[in-house]
Amino acid sequence: MTGDPAALPGDAHITQQVHAEFLHGWHGYTSTAWGYDEVRPVSGTHNDFFAAGKTFGLSIVEALDTLFLMGEDRELARCCDWIEQHFDPAQDADVHVFEAVIRLVGGLLAGYLATGRRKLLMLCREFTDHLLPAFTSSPTGIPYTHVNLRTGAVSGPNVPLAEAGTNSMEFGLLSKLTGDSRYYDASLRAYRAVIAKRSSLDLLGTSIDAETGRWTDTDSTAPNPPVDSFYEYLWGGYALLGDTRLRDWYRTLTRAILRHQSDTSTGHLWFRQVDPATGAPTGTSQSELASFYAGLLGKGGDLRDGAAYYRSWTAALDRYPVLPEGLDYRTLEATDKGNQLRPEYPNSSFDLWRLTHDAFYKRTAYRYFTAMRDNLRVPGGYTIATDVTTTPMGRGDLLPAYWFAENYKYLYLMFSGTRRFDYRNGYLSTEGKVLRGLRRS
């Protein structure tokens, strides 16, 4: 797959394949789980993502801008109609703030940008207002992990780093569209509280107490979860909003990660876990979720390191037809043999292809696509893997809603050249939502 680009089918043919497979998954959802958060395609049932017995139509919200980009305007209108009639932003439910921001706030914003339907923006603002107590009730400004949408009651003071800072893009754009600064102000207050706690080496820990501002897990584990998108949103917030404070924080922290956590002892670039005070190594685990970091490094100006890290993950893909959730990078042995239909590898494929137009990224992205199709496609759509090391591959029974927002969107954008996207200035969130660059006729 890394040889002659002529070995690839033509872009138009791949575009048709990607589109058809997306629709296969979409129709699997709409035929058995319409109006619910997620589909279980093997059993033909549904899954409530945020709270048992509550639905936000998560897959519908996640799919909005993907349907737009693929020209599925009738399905897009159907989704918007459902949201306007059924989406309840004040349910009596404790929701995970981080997931609510990147999935629902981001999805409604992207849906509004795709369609211009003002009700989507109104619902987005109302929903975000019900999330804000997680920020405003905190003594430090670092958001609690959960909030009850109806009562405003907060819980979860032990906050993973990503959950403290993955909101600048959605909150900043919402403030811009509404003229209400409360959302972006809340995001910046949380950032300041965390950045102030960096070590003398400019490294951050893994989790922090929202009430005291003290680290509860001090190891620096970037770019692994649960810290990953904290760094992504420093650069993304700058790229989307032009806030140079976010850019400067990103560069300071990234320099430290590259200096103290890079490990090329295997012949590939990986990132070890370290003590942030001393830089002493503490671990060699790598999560598939971290593969997004290749694209982020490229966008942030470290293209050489980004390309090297992408090739590290491509070496792992040489070993496993579908990437495992986790591995020990010294041996590439899987430490978590499942796969949750993750999109981070093609996310980096897309980011690095946009920067370089190197056909290598198209070839490797297409290999990712065919491996998913060949191993995780089921009659009712696509499903997660329980063990990627067996033949046939062990399968579960869930199509995560982010599949509709991310995996095939990156692939479609790489191969389609759609006029509905601004390839020069478009920018996507960590959840694959196009927050700038959608082109409506």
User: Amino acid identity of 177?
Assistant: L
Secondary structure letter of residue 199 according to DSSP = -
In the chain, the largest separation of any two C-alpha atoms, in whole Å, equals: 59
Q: What are the Cα distances from residue 191, in Å, to 96, 135, 157, 186?
A: 19, 11, 16, 9
| Pairwise CA distance, residues 232 & 240, whole Å | 12
Whether residue 28 contacts residue 401, with contact meaning beta carbons closer than 8 Å, is answered with: no
Secondary structure letter of residue 270 according to DSSP = E
Mean pLDDT within 138-162 = 98
Whether residue 401 contacts residue 62, with contact meaning beta carbons closer than 8 Å, is answered with: yes
Q: 441 in a domain, yes or no?
A: no
Give 90-123 pLDDT, tens digit per residue. 999 999 999 999 999 999 999 999 999 999 999 9
Banded pLDDT at 5 (limits 50, 70, 90): very low
Q: 222 in a domain, yes or no?
A: yes
Banded pLDDT at 4 (limits 50, 70, 90): very low
Give 179-203 pLDDT, tens digit per residue. 999 999 999 999 999 999 999 999 9
Whether residue 428 contacts residue 434, with contact meaning beta carbons closer than 8 Å, is answered with: yes
Q: 171 in a domain, yes or no?
A: yes
pLDDT confidence of residue 7: 77
Q: 145 in a domain, yes or no?
A: yes
Q: For the packed helices 168-178 and 228-241, what is the interaxial angle rounded to 10 degrees?
A: 30
Q: What are the Cα distances from residue 204, in Å, to 196, 225, 249?
A: 10, 13, 12
Q: 243 in a domain, yes or no?
A: yes
Residue 2 pairs in a beta bridge with none
Give 311-362 pLDDT, tens digit per residue. 999 999 999 999 999 999 999 999 999 999 999 999 999 999 999 999 999 9
| Pairwise CA distance, residues 431 & 429, whole Å | 5
Whether residue 433 contacts residue 169, with contact meaning beta carbons closer than 8 Å, is answered with: no
Domain CATH number, residue 431: 1.50.10.10
| Cis peptide, bond prior to residue 143, ω within 30 of zero | no
Tell me which residue range forms the domain holding 18.
5-436
Q: What's the burial of 14, exposed, middle or buried (CB within 10 Å: 0-12/13-18/19+)?
A: buried
Q: 125 in a domain, yes or no?
A: yes
Residue 3 has pLDDT above 50, yes or no: no
What is the pTM for the complete model shown? 0.97
Give 63-78 pLDDT, tens digit per residue. 999 999 999 999 999 9
Report CA dihedral (93, 99, 100, 101) to the nearest 10 degrees.
150
Mean pLDDT within 249-258 = 98
* Sign of the CA dihedral with 90 first, then 95, 97, and 103 last: negative
Which three-class secondary structure state does DSSP give residue 226? Answer: coil
Which three-class secondary structure state does DSSP give residue 3? Answer: coil
Task: Give me the DSSP letters along 105-157.
Answer: IHHHHHHHHHH--HHHHHHHHHHHHHHTHHHHT-SSSPPPSEEETTT--EE--
User: How many domains are contained in the chain?
Assistant: 1
Please give the angle made by the CA atoms of 143, 147 and 153, to the nearest 5 degrees. Answer: 105
Count CA atoms within 13 Å of residue 21 on its CB side. 25
Q: 33 in a domain, yes or no?
A: yes
Nearest to residue 287, comparing CAs of 270, 303, 304?
Answer: 270
Q: 11 in a domain, yes or no?
A: yes
Residues 6+ apart with CB under 8 A from 248: none
